[in-house]
Structure formats: C-alpha cells, structure tokens
Amino acid sequence: MITLILFFVLLMVGFPIFGAILAAGIIFLISTDLSILIEAIPLQLYGALEINSLLAIPLFLLVGEVMNKGGLTHRLIAVAELLVGRLRGGMAYANLLTNAMAASILGSAIAQIGVMSRIMVPAMEKRGYDKSFSAAVTVSGGLLGPIFPPSMLMIIYGVVAVQPIAPLFIAGIVPGILIFLVLCAIVFAYSLRSDKIPPTNNNVERDQPVRKTLVDGILPALIPLVVVIGISAGVMTPTEAGAVAALIAFVLCFAYKEIKIRDLYDIFLSVCLLTATICILISVATFLSWVLAFEGIPDRLVATITSITDSPFVFMLLVIVLMLILGLFLETISVLIVLVPILMPIVTQLGVDPIQFGVICTVATTIGVITPPVGPGLFVVMGQTGVKMGTLVKALIPFLIAVGAVLILIAAVPEISTWLPAKLIK
C-alpha cells in the first residue's frame, strides 16, 4: 500500500513516470526486507532491453516521422475528398477516411490528431460544419492510429507480454475497420437531422486531376501493404518490415520534395528521444514486475480476480474499466507497460487469448488519449482550434460510446481479433 501511495504522490507532484516507477520499486524492496536485491537493479534494467523485438520501435517511429514531415496527410485528404467528398457530411467522412489511411503510417494517435486538427477542422468550419463537431470527428479519428498495423502500442504490448509481434499487427485490422465503420455511422446519424453538418457539400472540384490525386495519395499505401504482406507471407520479421517501410518512406518523401537533407537531423533526433523514452519505461516497468514477483503479488492478484469471476469476458470488462480509469490520469504507454506484465498470469489462468487481450489493451489505453482530465489528444486539438474542453467533450460523447461498444464486442467475440492472424500467419 505504501508503494502504491508513493507512486501516485510522485505522479501528482510532477515526477517523471519512469522515476515514479523506479522509486516505487525500490521502496517496495526496502519495505519488504528485500533490500539485498537493490544491487541487482542495474542488471534488471539492462536485461529488460535485451529483446530483439525492441529494434522495431525506432524503425517504425522513423517511418512515422518521415511521412509526417513529407506531406503525406495533404495527399491522403485529397484522395479521401475525391472518394466521399460529394456526400452530405462528406468532409467528416473524408476526415475519418484520411485518419484510417494515415493510421497505417503515422501510428500515433497524438501525432495524427495534431496534424489533422491543423488541416481538417479549419477546412470543415469554412465549409459550414460546426466547429465542435469537426474537432470531435478529428479527435475520434485519431484513435485509429495505434490500432491499424504497424502499431507502436502492439509492439510494446508484444515486448512486455512476451508475445509475437506479427500476429498482433494483423489482429488490429478487423477491429480497426469496425471502429472506423461505427464512427462513420455516428457521422451518418448526424447528417440525417443535425444542423452541425451543412445540407450540401460541393467541396470537390470537378476539374480535379483525378489520376494524379489518386497516384499521389495511394503510393504511401505501399508502406502498410508491404508491412502486412511481408509479415503475413513470412518473408520479413516485424523488424525487417520496419526497415523496408522506412526506406520506402524516405524514397517517397524525397520524391515528393517535401523533406530535405537538412530536415534529417530533426527527424532522427525526434526518433532517438521517443525511443529512449519508451525504452526507459519498459526497463523500469520490467524491474517493478520482477520486484512484485518476489512477493508473489501477481499470484495474489490471480487468486483475487479468479475468486471474483472465472469468466474471461467479465475479467476483460474489469480490465477495460481499470485501463479507462488509469487512462484518465496516466499516459497511454505507461498504463500498458505497468499493467500488462501484472495481468498476464491471469490471462493465462483464465485461458484468454493473448492476441485478443493485446487488442483490448491497445484500444482501451488509446481511449485515454482523448478522455479528460489529462487526455493529451484533447489539449492538442483545443490548442490548434480554440474549442473549449466542455464543448469538445460533449460533442465527443457519441463517438466515445460507439468505440466503447466495439471494445466490448471485441471482448465478447474473440474471433474479431484472432481470426485474421490465424488465417494469415502460419
């Protein structure tokens, strides 16, 4: 209990998350007469990073950074508007479609929300859409980023849960499509009887160069295609797929003349900082899990949960609630890294498919990006658009309910997340 209180106190006073986890682990050792193990902390921190799968993290971060700076989003928006721009609510559909296409390349909800809020919200407002509705569509569309492959959260889950990355990548496809469809259904419902959407949408020019727009927008789709096909066919490991994807990203962006040699320093620096942040979180969380194992905490947790229920579905509902609550206050990656190692023994005990559990954890923790009071995605779009928190959250509620319904469906029907990996990964 002292350890838990210390952890939350340190977080509330602004202590770095990795420092709070490390301090909590050390205090736990001291309070349980295991201080002799303090000498082994450096070995534990180092050993946590001796995992080949971690090599995929900087590679896919590099893909996202390059494509983000390479003018990708403008080209994807042009394709999306060409396909659905003439429908009522066409700009909202184009917003979601662009998010779905960009998700496979950017892979980060916050980065995606930041890029899209700068571009789509002003454009939608100019064409008669309600500003808060436009912001809500943009924020909810950002949830697709960490779900479609290649997903950074899936890599991190695979590392901390000791699960193969390839089937986790593929497992996100069907749930991602379902979430995209329910978000579109919310837009459709608004378009039937709401003044938040203009009655007509003539935002697509008839003399638009269709072929050039399609070619420019579809070429970036080579990246997720190469990743999915290469991994599914067994030709590439996730790490090798990340390297190939990064190479394609560089070729495309230099061909578009959107990035220059002088931009590489900032790109690589950003990748290094993000990689370091993720790796130090993984190492201290692994250390904390090792410490808790000495006192049998995971076994006690298993016994407690199984005494409450032996139903995998009820267990996953409890996990969803726990992750949503923690997501209100903690950063997405931190929630995933801290909770997953502790919960995995229960997953094994109850016979829950770890691939299905990975998808549930990814979606549940991602929702935290757009939920108050800490949700960074909300603050990003508020800063870009000037929309007030209360107005934005009110407009976002139908979209959150829809995503929550899909999350419960994924928990109830394992095949939604396990069928495609079983078919494609041999």
pLDDT digits (tens, 9 = 90+) for 257-309: 778 888 888 889 988 887 887 788 778 877 877 777 776 766 676 677 778 88
For residue 414, the model assigns a pLDDT of 93
Q: Please compute the mean of the pLDDT values over residues 131-155 and round it to a whole number.
A: 85
Q: Confidence band (pLDDT; 50, 70, 90) for 55? A: confident
Are the C-beta atoms of 384 and 138 separated by less than 8 Å?
no
For residue 354, the model assigns a pLDDT of 94
Q: Confidence band (pLDDT; 50, 70, 90) for 116? A: confident
In sequence order, the 6+-apart residues with CB closer than 8 A to the CB of 297 are: 342
Q: Which of 401, 406, 410 is nearest to 359 (CA)?
A: 410
* Tokens representing residue 125 in the block: 């407002």
Are the C-beta atoms of 214 and 82 separated by less than 8 Å?
yes
Per-residue pLDDT tens for 375-415? 667 777 887 778 888 888 888 999 999 999 999 999 999 99
For residue 407, the model assigns a pLDDT of 94
Residue 116's alpha-carbon distances to 95, 122, 145, 235, in angstroms, are 8, 10, 12, 34
Q: Which one of 98-102, 145-149, 290-294, 311-315 scores highest in mean pLDDT?
A: 311-315
Q: Which of 9-13, 305-309, 358-362 has the lowest mean pLDDT?
A: 9-13
Q: Confidence band (pLDDT; 50, 70, 90) for 41? A: confident
DSSP state letter for 234: T
- Cα separation of the two ends of the chain: 45
Angle at 220 between CA 77 and CA 356, to 5 degrees: 95
User: Per this entry, what is the length of the chain?
Assistant: 426
Q: Which of 76, 125, 129 is nearest to 385 (CA)?
A: 125
Residues 23/24/25/28 CA torsion (nearest 10 deg): 120
Are the C-beta atoms of 81 and 204 separated by less than 8 Å?
yes
Whole-model pTM? 0.78
For residue 106, the model assigns a pLDDT of 59
Q: Confidence band (pLDDT; 50, 70, 90) for 206? A: very low
For the chain, give the percent of residues with pLDDT over 90. Answer: 13
For residue 298, the model assigns a pLDDT of 64
For residue 203, the model assigns a pLDDT of 46
